[in-house]
């Protein structure tokens, strides 16, 4: 076990966990930040996407020891009232179906728009290809990202 003062969503959150514990489980089981979802546990689906220093990462493959001292943002920290431009575009385009993958989709979309404020369809396809949606909401995801980019 080791003690960490993690920087999550602008706050310092102390935890005591095994250094190899994936951030996904620290967030969900120790800090009650359950917006970040478990899908595959193997960096294949994107459901667990959070930001590490503003960049999208798979929290299921990020040991807590590697996240210590860095800025972590989860879907809960994206905006105080759920009105981040990407979240608003998601609602306007009714993107979610079952909703399970959507936090990860939104966190990836925000990261995409930060690095590429006006992405083409191909850019979106390439960047978002690691976020799997079993409901097949890809067309609406693309439309929402385009809307948020304007």
Residues found near ligand FES in the complex (CB under 6 A): 38-41, 43-48, 58, 60
In the complex, what is the shortest distance from the CB of residue 48 to ligand FES, in angstroms, rounded to a whole number? 3
Angle at 86 between CA 84 and CA 92, to 5 degrees: 105
DSSP 30: I
Q: Which residue is nearest to ligand FES (CB)?
A: 60
Residue 26 or 47 having the CB closest to ligand FES: 47
The CA-atom distances, in angstroms, between 73 and each of 55, 82, 139 are 9, 14, 26
Residue 45 or 86 having the CB closest to ligand FES: 45
In the complex, what is the shortest distance from the CB of residue 41 to ligand FES, in angstroms, rounded to a whole number? 5
> How far apart (Å, rounded) are the C-alpha atoms in residues 53 and 73?
8
Decide: helix, strand or coil at residue 118.
Answer: coil
Residue 89 or 96 having the CB closest to ligand FES: 96
Q: Which residues pair with 6 in a beta bridge?
A: 13
In the complex, what is the shortest distance from the CB of residue 72 to ligand FES, in angstroms, rounded to a whole number? 15
């Amino acid at each position: 076990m080791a003690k960490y003062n993690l920087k999550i969503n602008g706050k310092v959150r102390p935890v005591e966990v095994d250094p190899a514990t994936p951030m996904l489980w620290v967030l969900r089981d120790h800090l009650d930040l359950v917006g970040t979802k478990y899908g595959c546990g193997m960096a294949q689906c994107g459901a667990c996407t959070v930001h590490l220093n503003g960049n999208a990462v798979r929290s299921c493959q990020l040991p807590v020891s590697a996240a210590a001292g860095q800025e972590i943002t989860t879907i809960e920290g994206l905006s105080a009232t759920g009105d981040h431009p990407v979240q608003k575009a998601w609602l306007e385009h009714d993107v979610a179906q079952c909703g399970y993958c959507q936090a990860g989709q939104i966190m990836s979309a925000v990261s995409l728009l930060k690095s590429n404020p006006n992405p083409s369809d191909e850019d979106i396809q390439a960047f978002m290809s690691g976020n799997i949606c079993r409901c097949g909401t890809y067309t609406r995801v693309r439309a929402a990202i385009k809307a948020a980019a304007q």
